[in-house]
Amino acid sequence: MFNQKVAWITGASSGIGEALAVALARQGARLVLSARREDELQRVALATGLPAEAVLVLPLDVTDADDLAEKVQTVLARFGRIDYVFQNAGITQRSLVQNTDPSVYQRLMAVNFFGPVALTQAILPHMLAQKSGHFVVTSSVAGKIGVKQRSGYCASKHALHGFFDALRAEVANSGLRVTMVCPGYIRTPISSSALSASGEVYGKSDKAQEQGMPADECARRILKAVASGREEVYIGGVETWGIYL
Ligand code: NDP
């Protein structure tokens, strides 16, 4: 399924994105690894075990929309096509609505929503020309329900469903696909970098996060869902939803 395919992963320097990189490499994919921290991307590139010609480390900030057209050209120059885009980069928060500085909402929307929108718009013309391509979007359980202390995170993830469900309808006859992924708690460092009410980094890991599903199991389930053509998949089960509410 993924053998020799070109898969671009955002948020590839850590957590679920890192696990996706390793899992896709095992299945023979060629990879484009993106996030802001180049040293971490280099570490992940090594961990995939892929030869240098099969992996492109492409640091980017998803909020820097001006840069994306050039990045797409870099990928096309290297691999000639883009088969899968795992829109996975994301940040979260820990703050009540009553305390949250408006800048925190701006930041969550910039990274989690406008980032994927801009990357989609940069890549879409090439996928339409190819008549194939698959957007795989890491939303969350919080993209389907409201969760305490995650108001901006929930809003950004809900917005992704609206945008990508509309895109799926638009490209239905163009050979393109969209899969929305809604995990529960996955064991990654995301909670320690959550934004506080003032926009500072939260700085400590949630207990529930530490007890979540291992990221490699999450990645395995994402790839299984993508391979079987699922439009939406829930990973982590309803038992983890209770932790959120
Ligand atoms: P991590 O914190 O481990 O990974 C987040 C990734 O996003 C990092 O690679 C980070 O890299 C990247 N990133 C953050 N901001 C930017 C930016 N501005 N531009 C480019 N890359 C950025 O968290 P997870 O692996 O847990 O999160 C991955 C996705 O899964 C997120 O969208 C998250 O919302 C979602 N998710 C996670 C759940 C969980 O329980 N872990 C549950 C449900 C959904 P860098 O800092 O190098 O830029």
Do residues 48 and 21 touch, judged by C-beta distance below 8 A? yes
* Mean pLDDT, residues 68-77 taken together: 96
CATH architecture of 6-244: 3-Layer(aba) Sandwich (3.40)
Which is catalytic among the residues 153, 202, 234, 244? Answer: 153
* 11 CA distance to ligand 1 middle (Å): 5
**Atom 19, ligand 1: which residue's CA is nearest?**
61
Q: Please tell me the distance from the alpha carbon of residue 232 to that of residue 219, in angstroms, as a whole number.
A: 15
Query: pTM of the full predicted structure?
Result: 0.97
- The residue among 216 and 203 whose pLDDT is bigger is 216
Do residues 111 and 161 touch, judged by C-beta distance below 8 A? no
- Residue the block writes with tokens 């202390």: 149
Question: Alpha carbon of 147 to those of 159, 164, 188: distances in Å?
Answer: 15, 21, 19
| Model ipTM value | 0.99
Q: Is the pLDDT of residue 235 over 80?
A: yes
Of 243, 204, 236, 200, whose CA–CA distance to 221 is shortest? 236
Active site annotation includes 153: yes
* 91 CA distance to ligand 1 middle (Å): 5
Residue-level pLDDT at 126: 97
Do residues 61 and 36 touch, judged by C-beta distance below 8 A? yes
Residue-level pLDDT at 68: 93
Which burial class, exposed, middle or buried, applies to 132 when counting CB atoms under 10 A from its CB (0-12, 13-18, 19+)?
middle
**How sure is the predictor about 236, in pLDDT bands with cuts at 50, 70 and 90?**
confident
Percent of the chain scoring above 90 in pLDDT: 90
**Atom 33, ligand 1: which residue's CA is nearest?**
90
Do residues 32 and 77 touch, judged by C-beta distance below 8 A? no
Residue-level pLDDT at 243: 56
Q: Is the pLDDT of residue 173 over 80?
A: yes
Task: List pocket residues of ligand 1, CB cut-off 6 Å.
Answer: 10-17, 35-37, 40, 61-63, 88-92, 111, 138, 140, 183, 185-186, 188-190, 193, 209, 212
Domain ranges of the chain: 6-244
- Residue the block writes with tokens 């691999």: 79
Q: Please tell me the distance from the alpha carbon of residue 231 to that of residue 179, in angstroms, as a whole number.
A: 4
